[in-house]
Amino acid sequence: MAQLPWRVLRSRPVTFAKARLAAERCSEDLSQLLDSHGTRTRVTSLLQAFIEALQECEANSYVRDSTKYVPCVKGFKVRGVVQIHPSFLGNPLKGVYVYLSNFLMQYNDYVGGIWLTCGKICQLDKYGYVTDGDCLGILSLRITVKLLVFVPQNGLMFGKVVRTLPERASLLVYGIFGVTVRSAEGSRDQANTLKEGDLVDADVDQVKILQKNKWVMLATSVDRVKVIS
């Protein structure tokens, strides 16, 4: 099913603790409500990596002293229409989660970032409606839903070094998003000053949205990366 437009009602920064709790609740809901093993495993495994990364950040004194909120992650409340199959009429909430799960861990133009979680769903229509001319009987429901969204932009992010080479290194921001670390201008071997497993403060200076894959590419130079643990 195609994704229909979403209207942003509210967006605000989130603390590490609130982001972690939202991810834990979403993972639990998806584990209970999704029948598709592939989708359930893909999304919940990414959420688990996100949760573990947030826990590590919460435990780090440098991070705690630097910021109260998770950089580049925001909480959204949006309103829109979901479409569910008639087989979910006995449990419309399950149908809503099945629909929304198709768009988790993907870039979404309406919120300008990658959906990480969904939760606190409120159904605005008591019965829903069937679109004129829809011979399949697909039911449309207006809802509000709270989302956790990674909003990619230049600036501070926290990540972990996962690979090092003489001229470059790779980070994972919040356990999910890859960052390529290149050597600083005029130097070819600075990237090897980083070690696998280092927790770092990375000042990202390149962001590219991959519309075809609905994902993001991030990059920075090694002189913009500070080891904090």
Q: What share of the chain is helix, strand, coil (3-state, %, to 5)?
A: 30, 40, 30
**DSSP 8-state class, residue 196:** T
CA distance 125 to 184: 55
pLDDT tens per residue across span 72-122: 999 999 999 999 888 888 899 999 999 999 999 999 999 999 999 999 999
Does pTM surpass 0.75? yes
Which residues of the chain does CATH 2.40.50.140 include? Answer: 155-227
The Cα 157–Cα 138 span in angstroms is 41
**pLDDT for position 121:** 97
Return d(Cα 95, Cα 109) in angstroms, integer: 23
Structure tokens at 50: 């996100």
Q: What are the pLDDT digits (tens) for 172-212?
A: 999 999 999 998 775 555 556 899 999 999 999 999 999 99
Structure tokens at 45: 């495994």
Q: What is the pLDDT of residues 20-52, one digit of tens each?
A: 999 999 999 999 999 999 999 999 999 999 999
Q: Which amino acid is at 220?
A: T
pLDDT at 67: 96
Q: Which residues contact 215 (CB under 8 A, 6 or more apart)?
A: 106, 107, 114
What is the fold, at CATH topology level, of the domain defined by 6-150?
Dna Ligase; domain 1 (3.30.1490)
CA neighbor of 116 nearest in space, from 107, 126, 129: 107
Name residues whose C-beta falls within 8 Å of residue 208's C-beta, 6 or more positions apart in sequence: 216, 217, 218
Per residue in 126-136, pLDDT (tens digit) is: 776 766 545 56
Inter-CA distances, 102 with 1, 34, 51, Å: 9, 11, 20
Predicted confidence (pLDDT) per residue in 58-81, tens digit: 999 999 999 999 999 999 999 999
Given the DSSP bridges, would you call strands 177-182 and 168-173 parallel, antiparallel or unpaired?
antiparallel
- For the chain, where do the domains classified as CATH 3.30.1490.120 start and end? 6-150
Residue 113 to residue 148: CA distance in whole angstroms:
10
How far is residue 56 from each of residues 6, 61, 86, 107, 197, measured CA to CA in Å? 33, 10, 43, 25, 12
In Å, how far are 154, 174, 175, 218 from 52, measured between CA atoms?
24, 8, 7, 21
CATH architecture of the domain 155-227 equals Beta Barrel (2.40)
